[in-house]
Amino acid sequence: MASTENRSKYFDNAKFILIFLVVFGHMISPYKDQDKILFTLYTAIFLFHMPAFILISGYFAKGYKKKGYLQKTIQKILIPYFIFQVIYSVVYYLVGKEKTLEFDLFQPHWSLWFLLSLFFWNLLLYVFARLKWVGLFIAVIIGIGIGYIDNVGSFLSISRTFVFFPYFLLGFLLNGDHLKMIVRAKYAVPAGIAIIAMTFIFFGLGFPQDAVPWLLGDTSYENMGGMQISDGLLRALQYGLTLIVVFAFLPLIPSNQYKITKIGERTLYVYLFHGFIIKSIQAILPNSISENYLFLLAFSFIVCMVLGSYMIKKYTKPLVELKI
């Protein structure tokens, strides 16, 4: 991470790995309850992959005060959300998942919550960035407190917006020197490998089957099994554990140029389109495919490579960014 070019390669490599984990996590989701290994992979991945993605997004939001930043955010985040919300509504109706064709722009379909929350996180910077580290403390308190509101949920992605906002704000507050201290620390790589390994072992041995909603952050404590006063403490512990794993993951990212590095620049296209492929292949293939771990990994990797290719970006950019 010594140069700007190396930092760019580093983050592009990180984004590729994270988008691969997103695709792979969605690929194995329907099979996780019947397979202990897939359940362990799913839960461990969902503990840190979106927080890491969100933290990196916050790191690159430092120009929020610049002229045209908000307009660019609307163009690159909010407009794609509206476009694909409509597309998903039509697709769900055609495949019979929805009985009527309705265009509800306030209830994000599937993975589109991230775009809506990302837009709101950028807006929240105008308030919280001024408060700096005090703002982070307040964001954590709000993220914990939002779970006590019974009817909080996916409407406008409110729950996820506030639950995951501390990661975005932390990424914004971190600078290059902070990241160098984390990534280039003397024992960062072996410590990172050990922490990641222990996380998978811990989740494999003891993660409760009914605790998956805690990783998703999309509903209240009440809807996750009955609200207890201590639930706020559990979310605080989750924040801590997640950050430990995220910071263990960051030193493992290479800064060299690979074929996957360019794909890391186009993760939005992978994120927006992979759902159509994943849902289609899951409908076609038998459930026994869950036993073929190599196929699940390879297929997820191919999806990332194809959807992140130059050709996909070239021909879908008018749709994604509404540039006709």
- Please check the confidence at residue 110 and state whether its pLDDT lies above 90: no
- Please check the confidence at residue 2 and state whether its pLDDT lies above 70: no
SS3 121: helix
Q: Are 21 and 43 in contact (CB under 8 A)?
A: no
pLDDT at 7: 60
Mean pLDDT of 297-307: 97
Average pLDDT taken over every residue of the chain:
92
What's the rounded Cα separation, in Å, for the pair 213 and 149? 16
pLDDT at 323: 62
Confidence class of residue 62 from pLDDT cuts 50, 70 and 90?
very high
Q: What is the per-residue burial (b if ≥16 Cβ within 10 Å, else e) of 226-242?
A: ebeeebbebbeebbeeb
- Please check the confidence at residue 272 and state whether its pLDDT lies above 60: yes
- Please check the confidence at residue 212 and state whether its pLDDT lies above 70: yes
Q: What is the CA radius of gyration of the chain?
A: 19
How confident is the model over 134-155, as pLDDT tens digits?
A: 999 999 999 999 999 988 888 9
pLDDT at 275: 92
Mean pLDDT of 197-219: 93
Mean pLDDT of 292-304: 96
For 23, residues 6+ apart whose C-beta sits below 8 A from its C-beta are 270, 274, 278, 300, 303, 304
- Please check the confidence at residue 5 and state whether its pLDDT lies above 70: no
Q: What is the DSSP string of 1-61?
A: --SHHHHHHHHHHHHHHHHHHHHHHHHHGGGGGG-HHHHHHHHHHHHHHHHHHHHHHHHTT
User: Which single residue is written with the structure tokens 């609200």?
Assistant: 227
Q: Which carries the bigger pLDDT value, residue 61 or residue 209? A: 61
Read off the pTM.
0.94
What's the rounded Cα separation, in Å, for the pair 67 and 37? 49
pLDDT at 225: 82
Quick one: how far is CA 268 from the chain centroid? Answer: 11
- Please check the confidence at residue 4 and state whether its pLDDT lies above 70: no
Give the HSE-up count for residue 227: Cα atoms under 13 Å, Cβ half-sphere: 16
What's the rounded Cα separation, in Å, for the pair 245 and 198? 10
How confident is the model over 240-259, as pLDDT tens digits?
A: 999 999 999 999 999 999 99
- Please check the confidence at residue 49 and state whether its pLDDT lies above 90: yes
Quick one: how far is CA 90 from the chain centroid? Answer: 24
pLDDT at 209: 85
Q: Which carries the bigger pLDDT value, residue 232 or residue 110? A: 232
Give the alpha-carbon dihedral of 312, 80, 52, 254, to 10 degrees.
Answer: 30
- Please check the confidence at residue 158 and state whether its pLDDT lies above 90: yes
Give the HSE-up count for residue 119: Cα atoms under 13 Å, Cβ half-sphere: 20
Confidence class of residue 32 from pLDDT cuts 50, 70 and 90?
very high
pLDDT at 250: 97
pLDDT at 324: 47
Long-range pairs for 182-188: beta carbons < 8 A, 24 or more residues apart: 182/247, 182/250, 182/251, 183/1, 183/10, 183/250, 183/251, 183/253, 184/1, 184/251, 185/251, 188/251
Quick one: how far is CA 84 from the chain centroid? Answer: 17
pLDDT at 39: 96
User: Which single residue is written with the structure tokens 């194809």?
Assistant: 306
